[in-house]
Structures are given as C-alpha cells and as structure tokens.
Amino acid sequence: MAQIQEGRMPYLGYETYYRIVGENKGNKKPLLLLHGGPGSTHNYFEVLDDLADKDGRQLIMYDQLGCGNSYLDGHPELWTKETWLNELIALRKHLGLDEVHILGQSWGGMLAIIYECECKPEGVASYILSSTLPYNAIWESEQKRRVGYLPEEMQEAIAKAEKTGNYSDPDYDVAITEFMTRYCAGPFGPDAAECLTRKKKAGTEAYVAGWGPNEFTPTGSLRDYNYMDQLKDFSKPTLICNGAEDLCSPYIAKLMFDAIPNAKWELFRYSRHMCFVDEEELYKKVLMEWLNQND
C-alpha cells in the first residue's frame, strides 16, 4: 500500500490542502490532478490511489481554495480563474514539481487549458483533459439540448427557475437531480468506494460565484471562458477523455480533438461525467498506457 502524505500550503492568507500518494522515485513523472467544480473537492480522485502501486507513479491531488479541506466562503471576490490559476502555479513551486503530467477533470480541465494557453508552463510532460470543455457556449447549448430529454414537468420547472432566478423550488431540485444523475454521477450505493460517499464540504459559493447556479447557466466569473481558438497552439501531448453520456458530450470532445495538434481521444462508451468511476479499470488502463508513453 502506497504511503500517503498530507499537507497544507499557505495561500492568499489561507491554506490549500494537498494529498500525495506514493513516492517520486525519479523514473516516472508524478501525476498532478485538478478536480472539478469549481468546488467539488479532490475526493473522487482517490479511486486512482492504487496507480501509485500498480504503476509506481506518485499522485498529487489537492482541494482548490474554497472547498473540502481548503474550505472558505464569504469571499465571492476570490472565485476567479486568477485565484485558482495562481494557486496551481504556487503548488507546483511549493512541492517542487518540476516535471509532471496534469490531469484535469471538468472544471479542472478548464483550469489545465487556461494554464497551458496563458502560461506555457515548462516541465509538463502531457495533459489529460477529462470530461471538460473548450468554451462555455458549447457547454451551455449541449446541456440545454439534454434538458429537452427530461419529462415535460421537469423541463417546465427548470424553465421557471431560469425565468424567475429562483433556484430553490423543490420541483427544480427534483429536475436537476434527475439531470445530474443521467449525465454526471450517482447515486452511490453501499458498495461504492468510501471516497465517493464520504461527507465533504462542497464549495457552493465557489461554484455559484465562479460558474453559476447549474451546469447550463454560466453566469459567474468564468462566464467569458473561451479558449477554442488557442487550442491549436497546444504544444504538449494531450489525451482527451469523455463518456458517451457525459456532460462533456462526444461533440464537445471532438471539437477539442480536432483543434489540438496530435491529440488522442478516448471515448468511454458506458460512462457519464466521471469516467474513472463508471469504467474505473478501463480508465486506469488507458491512463497508465498514456502516462508511460509520454514520460
């Protein structure tokens, strides 16, 4: 069983929690994991812990400021791409991660795209863009298309919330739960990995202020996110992963695949938004092969 080390990095007068699995023996570059949300925590990435033993590779995951063990609220002004981008830069420096692979899932993939396009960082061996997006408008339109598959009364509840700005109606909650179950994740039964059912401090403020009230209403600070035209300048090997019933639809994944030079695309046929949970063993196999090919 790989050794697990936890720590905290001072950041903006607060603390960023990180979790390191395994040792960096120098022969394989560590894998740095960027979770979704904003505000979803690192927890679900713990299903990948055994890669430290199976592949002899160190994994680093962390809770971005605003959630989990880095929980903070009452500061909506902090929830911007600059806060999370600078946190990523600071963490690499703090942990001495001169060479890494970076896997970003959902919002974490957006952060990886921002990082590559704006910083052109050195020492990144490859990117894994898992269930993410190149620009907001395509994400919004694809989710609204999927809303059209919900029962009529659920569509009406969502439309009412969008019109009134009241997202606390019980009928809206039922509709969003159904939508997220179809295309995101859950529910998790008693046999699910503990990290998926563990109580966590979700960063609700970070999500709403950064993104918006739901997946198809990007009204937060990230509302102008659009790196589609810059993807052609991606200089690192890039693996794109998504599920057939993912919030990141095959259409969105193909847009990134077509735009990024020499990218590889892996479509998980039986997955939603968390491919590494829905098809865990296949995801790990694909991931290990990719990492070893690009060390």
Burial of 148 (0-12, 13-18, 19+ CB in 10 A): exposed
Cβ-in-10-Å burial (0-12, 13-18, 19+) of 43 comes to buried
Whether 109 is in a domain gets the answer yes
What is the residue-averaged pLDDT of the chain? Answer: 97
Q: Would you say residue 2 has pLDDT above 90?
A: no
Active site residues: 106, 246, 273
CA dist., res. 173 & res. 160, Å (int) = 12
Q: Is the pLDDT of residue 13 over 90?
A: yes
Structural domains counted in the chain: 1
Read off the pLDDT band of 36 (50, 70, 90).
very high
- Grade residue 66 by pLDDT with cuts at 50, 70 and 90: very high
Write down the pTM of the prediction.
0.97
Examine residue 170 and state whether it is found in any structural domain, yes or no.
no
> Does residue 173 fall inside a structural domain?
no
Does residue 161 lie within any of the structural domains? no
Where in the sequence is the domain holding 133, given as residue range(s)?
4-137+194-293
High-pLDDT (> 70) share of the chain, %:
100
Taking residues 219-233, report their average pLDDT. 97
Assigned domain for 90 exists: yes
Tell me whether residue 180 is in a domain: no
Has residue 192 got a pLDDT over 90? yes
Does some domain include residue 32? yes
pLDDT of residue 226: 98
> Are the beta carbons of 45 and 35 closer than 8 angstroms?
yes
CATH number, domain at 43?
Answer: 3.40.50.1820
**Which residues fall within 8 angstroms of residue 141, CB to CB, at 6 or more apart?**
none
Which of the four pLDDT bands, split at 50, 70 and 90, describes residue 26?
A: confident
- In tens, the pLDDT along 238-260 reads 999 999 999 999 999 999 999 99
Across 66-95, average pLDDT: 98
For residue 215, being part of any structural domain is answered with yes
Q: How far does Cα 232 stand from its chain's mean position?
A: 21
Whether pLDDT at 57 is above 90? yes
What's the rounded mean pLDDT across residues 35-40?
Answer: 97
Position 227 pLDDT exceeds 90: yes
CA angle 83, 241, 238 (to 5 degrees): 70
Angle, helices 136-147/250-259, rounded to nearest 10 degrees: 160
Residue 25 has pLDDT above 90, yes or no: no
pLDDT confidence of residue 1: 80
